[in-house]
Every structure is written in structure tokens, then in C-alpha cells.
């Protein structure tokens, strides 16, 4: 017998008819299951929200007053005819893949994910399923991430050199996830760690939840190169080279993102240094994750969808591009977004 698909792709987002809910919808719906707090996944205006306990504080911080319920990783919840559970996606603290089971048919919407343990987010957990929805932000074989320790060493070496040259190191990173991951990689003995307000606010939310971050100082109007010599300042990319950064005197700027893997982008966007580090899976990571699910049907979204699904189809999967009216976190779009890389 032929099953109705458990999840379908509608103009409002990924829809589950059996449970009458949406996953990461981009239009107002009554019931929304949210993989994580990034702006292209968690939008305002939904009737009810369901997300992991760890994702909720950041969502509330960003979206304000919302009607939301929390759920633990692995906890099973029946919604109508569907059994739903959330599992670690390793993308940012609190991020989840959403597993939906209806009459023995298992679908997993993985949201954004990475497969290495960043020491902060609950590590990615492959889920056996029949249908797997995957992102493909970095779905090209040119993207290959180095181990986190290697990038940590590069960043700390750069910071140390800046400090000994009497310069402030200003590191650009997106405020939820990437910034905290970088903070946890810094070697505090080199000097003081300052954070831009946007980042310090998110830090406070995560610290409240018990995430261990090194001591940071809010880079308020009194903080300058004089008050904090040898400092590293972590700031949103938009703050790099802005009037705000001037007060840190002689400085070098760095930018941490997966896009830095490409020399052209690095030269255009990185300021003085580009560090290749991403909260999305690289080529090998995507393929590993897909293999681990044992799924035969793969739905590709967010990124190099056409190329990645063609590759999957040639290698024995039944892959298709998820039609979406929204562009994913493309190289160019990432300029303005707070969540790419």
C-alpha cells in the first residue's frame, strides 16, 4: 500500500497533515515546531511554538512574548496522529532535528546542522529514518573544515600577535551560536575578551541556561584600547570597520565563517584575516550524516540544492530539491543575515 507523505512542502513551510503542524514555517500558522532560534527558522507571529528547552530562552529573547512550550531532547510527544521528538543537530546551543513518525513511516527534518562536537551545543545525533530533509549550505566538495583545535590555534596565534604589536584584535561573528563557540575557543590568558552589546546579550541568555563561557567584558562606551590593552573584541560582522570600532585604536580585523574557504570571498570580506569555521556541515559531513540515517529519500534545501541532489541521485539515493520561494543562506545573502556561516 502507498503511504501519504508524512511531511509535505507547502508555501507556508514544511507541513505535517497527520499532526496539523508546521516545521520552521515562514508564514503565520497556528502550530509551529522550531528547530532553532536563527531568524530564518524561528519567526514571529505563530499561534503556538514548540522547541527544545535549550532553544526557548533565545527565541524569547529575540521574538519577545510568545506562546511556547519546551521539550527535552529525545522526549516523545504525540500530536494528533504523529509522534514527534527533538534530537540534537549540533548547529548551535538548543538546535534540534525534528523526527516525525506516522504509522511506522519516519521523517526527519534536520534544520541546520553540523556533525562535529563544538563543545557547546549538544552533538549531532544521526537518526535512522526513511525520509531525510537536509540543508546544503556548504554542499560542494570544495568545503572541508579543519578540526576545531586547528582553527582555535590560528585565532589565538593571531590575537597574540596583535596584542604584542599593540593592536586590538576585532573578530567578526554572528551573534547567536558562532560568537559563543568562538568565545569558548579563545585562550583567556592572552588578554581581556570584550563583546559587542548584541553578542553580550546572547551570552547572558546562554549563561543563565548554564552554558560555560569564558569571562567577557561588555564593550560599552567606556571600553577602549587604553582601558583594555591587548584585548580581543568579538562583534557582529556589521561592526567591523564601523565608527564604533574606531575607539579600539590600532587594530586588525578578522572574520570567522565557512565562506572564508574561498580566497575571493576572504580577500573581499575578511578584513585582515579570515578564519574558516562554520556551524553548518561541510561536504563530507553532509554525506556522512545522510549515510548514517540510512534514509533512501533525501530532500535538499538551503544552498547548493541542484548540484548536491544530482550528486546524491548519481550515488544511489532518491534525492529531490525542495521547492522554496525563499533563497537559502547563499554566499551573497549571508551579507545581511545574522545566521549564515
Partner 1 sequence: MKQFASLFSTIDQSTKTTVKVNALTAYFNAADDIDKLWTIALFSGRRPKRAVTTTRLREWGAEVAGIPLWLFEECYPIVGDLAETIALVLPPNETRDNRSISQWINNLREVYKADDEAKKAFVLDAWARLGGTERFIFNKLITGGMRVGVSQKLMTRALARATDRDEAEMAHRLMGNWHPDDTTWHALIEAEDASADASRPYPFYLAYALENGPEHLKAPADWRAEWKWDGIRGQLIVRDGAHFVWSRGEELMTDRFPELARAVDFLPNGTVLDGELLVWQDGADAPDSFNKLQARIGRKTVPKKLLKDAPVLLHAYDLLEWEGEDIRQAPFKERRALLEKACADLPPDAPIRLSPQLDFNGWDDLHSFRDGARDAQAEGLMLKRADSPYLAGRKKGDWWKWKLAPLTIDAVMIYAQSGSGRRANLFTDFTFAVRDGPDLVPFTKAYSGLTDAEFRKITAWVRKNTLQRFGPVRQVKPHHVFEIAFEGIQASPRHKSGVALRFPRMLRWRHDKPLEEANTLEDLNEMLRIYG
Reduce the DSSP state of residue 298 to 3 states and report it.
strand
Of 141, 188, 214, 323, the one binding partner 1 by CB under 8 A: 141
28 binds partner 1 (CB under 8 A): no
- Binding partner of residue 38 among partner 1, Zn ion, none, CB under 5 to 8 Å per kind? Zn ion
Show Cβ contacts of residue 6 under 8 Å, excluding neighbours closer than 6 positions.
16, 18, 82, 100, 101, 102, 105, 106, 107, 131
Q: In this structure, are residues 100 and 82 in contact, taking their beta carbons and an 8 Å threshold?
A: yes
Handedness of CA 166, 172, 176, 179 (dihedral sign): negative
Shortest gap between Cβ of 273 and partner 1 (angstroms)?
6
Decide: is 170 part of the binding site for partner 1 (CB under 8 A): no
Binding test (CB under 8 A) with partner 1, winner from 1, 67, 104, 142: 142
Nearest CA to 281 out of 291, 266, 269 is that of: 291
Region of 49-57, 93-101, 288-296, 326-334 interacting with partner 1 (CB under 8 A): 326-334
Q: How far is the CB of 78 from partner 1 (least distance, A)?
A: 40
- Binding of partner 1 at residue 144 (CB under 8 A)? yes
Q: Identify each DSSP E strand in 203-324 by its residue range.
A: 217-218, 232-235, 251-256, 273-275, 297-303, 318-321
Angle value at C-alpha 180, between 122 and 233, nearest 5 degrees: 165
CB-nearer residue toward partner 1: 1 or 142: 142
Which among 78, 94, 97, 102 has a CA at the least distance from the CA of 86? 97
Question: Taking CB under 8 A as the criterion, which residues in 214-273 touch partner 1?
Answer: 261-268, 270-273
Of 49 and 311, CB closest to partner 1: 311
Out of Zn ion, partner 1, none, what residue 330 binds, judged by CB under 5 to 8 A for its kind, is: partner 1
Q: Out of partner 1, Zn ion, none, which partner does residue 112 contact, by CB within 5 to 8 A per kind?
A: Zn ion
Using CB under 8 A, which of 204, 225, 307, 321 touches partner 1?
307
Nearer to partner 1, 15 or 275 (CB): 275
- Using rule CB under 8 A, residue 296 touches partner 1: no
Residue 290 as a binder of partner 1 (CB under 8 A): the answer is no
Element (H, E) at 71: strand 68-71
Cell 540515517 found at: 293
Is the torsion defined by CA of 50, 298, 120, 232 positive or negative?
negative
Whole-angstrom distance, CA of residue 180 vs CA of residue 197: 13
Per CB under 5 A, residues contacting Zn ion are: 38, 40, 112, 339
Contact status, residue 59 vs residue 79, Cβ threshold 8 Å = no
Candidate residues 15, 107, 138, 311; the one interacting with partner 1 per rule CB under 8 A: 311
220 binds, among partner 1, Zn ion, none (CB under 5 to 8 A by kind): none
- The residues binding partner 1 (CB under 8 A) are 140-144, 146, 261-268, 270-274, 304, 307, 310-311, 314, 327, 330-333, 335
Amino acid at each position: 500500500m502507498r503511504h501519504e507523505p508524512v511531511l509535505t512542502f507547502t508555501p507556508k513551510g514544511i507541513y505535517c497533515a497527520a499532526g496539523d503542524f508546521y516545521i520552521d514555517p515562514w508564514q503565520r500558522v497556528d502550530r509551529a515546531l522550531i528547530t532553532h532560534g536563527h531568524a530564518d527558522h524561528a519567526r514571529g507571529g505563530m499561534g503556538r511554538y514548540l522547541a527544545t528547552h535549550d532553544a526557548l530562552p533565545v527565541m524569547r529573547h529575540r521574538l519577545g512574548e510568545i506562546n511556547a512550550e519546551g521539550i527535552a531532547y529525545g522526549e516523545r510527544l504525540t500530536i494528533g496522529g504523529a509522534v514527534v521528538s527533538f534530537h540534537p543537530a549540533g548547529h548551535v546551543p538548543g538546535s534540534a532535528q525534528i523526527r516525525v513518525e506516522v504509522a511506522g513511516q519516519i521523517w526527519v527534518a534536520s534544520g541546520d546542522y553540523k556533525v562535529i562536537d563544538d563543545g557547546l551545543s549538544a552533538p549531532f545525533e544521526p537518526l535512522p529514518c526513511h525520509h531525510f530533509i537536509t540543508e546544503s549550505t556548504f554542499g560542494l566538495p570544495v568545503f572541508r573544515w579543519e578540526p576545531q583545535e586547528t582553527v582555535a590555534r590560528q585565532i589565538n596565534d593571531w590575537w597574540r600577535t596583535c596584542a604584542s604589536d599593540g593592536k586590538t584584535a576585532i573578530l567578526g561573528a554572528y551573534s547567536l551560536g558562532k560568537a559563543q563557540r568562538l568565545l569558548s575557543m579563545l585562550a583567556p590568558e592572552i588578554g581581556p575578551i570584550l563583546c559587542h552589546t548584541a553578542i553580550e546579550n546572547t551570552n547572558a541568555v546562554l549563561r543563565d541556561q548554564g552554558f560555560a563561557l569564558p569571562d567577557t567584558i561588555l564593550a560599552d562606551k567606556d571600553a577602549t584600547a587604553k582601558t583594555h590593552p591587548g584585548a580581543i573584541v568579538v562583534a557582529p560582522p556589521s561592526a567591523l570597520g564601523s565608527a564604533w570600532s574606531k575607539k579600539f585604536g590600532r587594530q586588525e580585523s578578522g572574520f570567522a565563517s565557512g565562506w572564508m574557504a574561498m580566497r575571493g570571498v576572504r580577500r573581499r570580506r575578511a578584513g585582515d584575516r579570515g578564519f574558516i569555521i562554520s556551524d553548518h556541515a561541510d561536504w563530507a559531513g553532509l554525506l556522512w550524516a545522510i549515510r548514517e540515517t540510512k534514509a533512501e529519500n533525501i530532500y535538499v534545501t538551503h544552498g547548493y540544492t541542484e548540484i548536491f541532489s544530482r550528486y546524491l541521485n548519481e550515488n544511489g539515493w532518491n534525492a529531490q530539491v525542495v521547492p522554496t520561494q525563499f533563497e537559502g543562506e547563499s554566499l551573497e545573502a549571508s551579507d545581511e543575515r545574522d545566521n549564515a556561516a
